[in-house]
Amino acid sequence: MNFFTTAAGNYDRHIGRYGPVLAPELIAAADVRPGEHVLDVGCGPGALTTALLKLGAVVTAVDPSEPFVTACTERNPAAKVRQAAAEDLPFEADRFDATLAQLVVNFMQDAPTGLAEMARVTRPGGVVAAAVWDYADGMTILRKFWDAARTIDPDAGDESQMRYCTPDTLADLWSSVLDDVQVTEATVRASYTGFEDLWAPLESGVAPSGAFTVALDEERRAALKREFRARLGVGDDPFELSARAWLATGRT
C-alpha cells in the first residue's frame, strides 16, 4: 500500500515541512559534489531533488506516486523525473555517482531488493545513502501522534515498529550490500502557526498517521485530536517541533 497517493500539498503541510531542511543533511552525509549525477529514489514532491539541483548536481528522480511525480516535475524542471519504484529501477547499471533515498526505505515493499537496485545503478565506489526517521523517540510529531493514537486504539500501528528505523537495523541492511557503512544522525526543525496548522493535513489521509486518522469515526477522531494536542503541549500560537533522522551511507 502506498500512503502517498494524495495531492502533494497535503504532504507538504505534514511531513513535507521537514524535507527541505533534512535534504542538505543527507547530501552532506553522502558527500555529493556539484556536477555529479545523482538519483533521488522516492522523490515525493521533490525536496531532495530541489536541494541537489541547488548544489549543482545533475538529478534524476523516481517515485511510484503519480501526483508526486507530477509535483516534482513541476517544481524541478531541470530534473528528469519518472514514475518507478526502488525495487525495479528503470536504469542501466553503474549509471549514477550517488543514489539517495530520503524517508523512503521503510515504505518500500521490499527494502533489501530496493537497496540492491540502488547499489546496482550506482557506479563502483559511488555512494548509496538514505535518511529514515527516529520514529521511536526523536521524531516529535510522529512519536506524539502514535502515543496519542494508542490511547484511542491500543493496536494502532506505531511507525516505530517499521523494520529499518534504528541505527543497528539500518547498518545491518546497508552492510548486506555496501562497504564503508556509516550511520549518523541529524536533527531538524519545522514551524507551525498553531495546532490546527499541524492537524489539518492529517484529515487528508496522507502518510500512515493520516490514514489512521481518517479511518476513525467522528467521535474517536475528535478524541485523538484532543489527546494529540495535549501530548504536544501546544495551542493556537506558533511553535516549532524537532525531528531526528538516522542517515545511512555506504559505498558500492
Ligand X SMILES: C[S@@+](CC[C@H](N)C(=O)[O-])C[C@H]1O[C@@H](n2cnc3c(N)ncnc32)[C@H](O)[C@@H]1O
Footprint on residues 14-33 left by ligand X (CB under 6 A)? 15-16, 19
* x/- map, 29-68, ligand X, by CB under 6 A: ------------xxxx--xx--------------xxx--x
Candidate segments 80-88, 157-165, 224-232, 238-246, binder of ligand X by CB under 6 A? 80-88
Give the whole-angstrom CA distance, residue 8 versus residue 204. Answer: 11
- Shorter beta-carbon distance to ligand X: residue 48 or 53: 48
Query: 58, exposed or middle or buried, with CB in 10 Å at 0-12, 13-18, 19+?
Result: middle
**How many beta carbons lie within 10 A of that of residue 179, not counting itself?**
10
Q: Does 139 bind ligand X (CB under 6 A)?
A: no
Cα–Cα distances (Å) from 172 to 31, 54, 126, 162, in that order, read: 21, 32, 19, 15
Residue in the block written with cell 542538505: 24
Footprint on residues 89-128 left by ligand X (CB under 6 A)? 102-104, 107-109, 114
Please count the residues of this chain forming the interface with ligand X, following the rule CB under 6 A.
25
CB 129 within 8 A of CB 246: no
Give the whole-angstrom CA distance, residue 74 versus residue 51. Answer: 15
Q: Does 201 bind ligand X (CB under 6 A)?
A: no
- Residue 65: CB minimum distance to ligand X, A: 4
Interface residues with ligand X (CB under 6 A) are 2, 4, 15-16, 19, 41-44, 47-48, 63-65, 68, 85-87, 102-104, 107-109, 114
